[in-house]
A = this chain, B = another copy of it.
Amino acid sequence: MRNLCDHIARLQAGGNRSFGRSPLAAWARFVTLGDMIRTVVLYALALAAGAFALQWLQYNYLVRTFPVEIYIALIAVAFAGLGVWAGLRLARRPAPETFERNTAAIASLGITQREQQVLELLASGKSNKEIAHKLGVSPNTVKTQVASLYQKLEVQRRTQAVQKARELALIP
């Protein structure tokens, strides 16, 4: 149940420390549904407005004055610009600095809440004694919990534990 090798492949897919290779993949993973819908609606509205304006211009002024090529060029430029804007907006990552804890990994490794707290303090460079003081428990307890963490993470030293926890997105 606690075999790391069996889990890593699945778990790492859950972490968000690895960014997608294509912008579309990145967008699909990070943009919320509401954000997507808003963007699409905005783009549709802009298209409609543009089309309306073009219709109006067509029947009232432009076609009687300029050759059709200029008309075509204007449409092309306008919609290309709209497309670029929409593309940039779609590709924008909403919150680059957020960190989502890989709860799937935590659950799968059987790491308890208390052990999570200990892990965070451990990763921030605290000693067992400091962690014990901060959590209001005995240093011996912290030792036990740290040892349990080592077992579950399959490491021998605290620097290795920090390294592995960061890889698995257990801590920021």
Q: Which residues of A contact B (CB under 8 A)?
A: 18-19, 21-24, 26, 47, 50-51, 54, 58, 68, 72-73, 75-77, 79-93, 96-97, 122-127, 155, 157-164
- CB pair B79 A125 closer than 8 Å: no
For the residues of A in contact with B, the DSSP-based class is helix
Task: Name the CB-closest residue of B to A54.
Answer: B72
Q: In whole angstroms, what is the CA distance A66 to B122 when docked?
A: 72
Q: List the number of copies, as a whole number.
A: 2
Residue numbers in B under 8 Å from A125 (CB-CB): 155, 157, 159-164
- Shortest Cβ distance from residue A61 to the other chain B in the assembled complex, whole angstroms: 15
Interchain residue pairs with CB less than 8 A apart (14): A19-B97, A23-B91, A47-B76, A51-B73, A83-B83, A85-B87, A87-B87, A87-B90, A88-B90, A91-B92, A123-B163, A124-B163, A125-B155, A125-B163
Closest 8 CB pairs of A and B: A83-B83, A87-B87, A125-B160, A91-B91, A19-B96, A79-B79, A80-B83, A84-B87
- CB pair B23 A92 closer than 8 Å: yes
Residue numbers in B under 8 Å from A79 (CB-CB): 75-77, 79-80, 83
Residue numbers in B under 8 Å from A80 (CB-CB): 47, 79-80, 82-83, 86
- Shortest Cβ distance from residue A85 to the other chain B in the assembled complex, whole angstroms: 7
- Shortest Cβ distance from residue A14 to the other chain B in the assembled complex, whole angstroms: 18
Q: In whole angstroms, what is the CA distance A92 to B85 when docked?
A: 14
Residue numbers in B under 8 Å from A123 (CB-CB): 159, 163
Given contacts A87-B88, A124-B163, 6 further A-B contacts (CB under 8 A): A22-B92, A23-B92, A80-B83, A84-B84, A84-B86, A91-B91
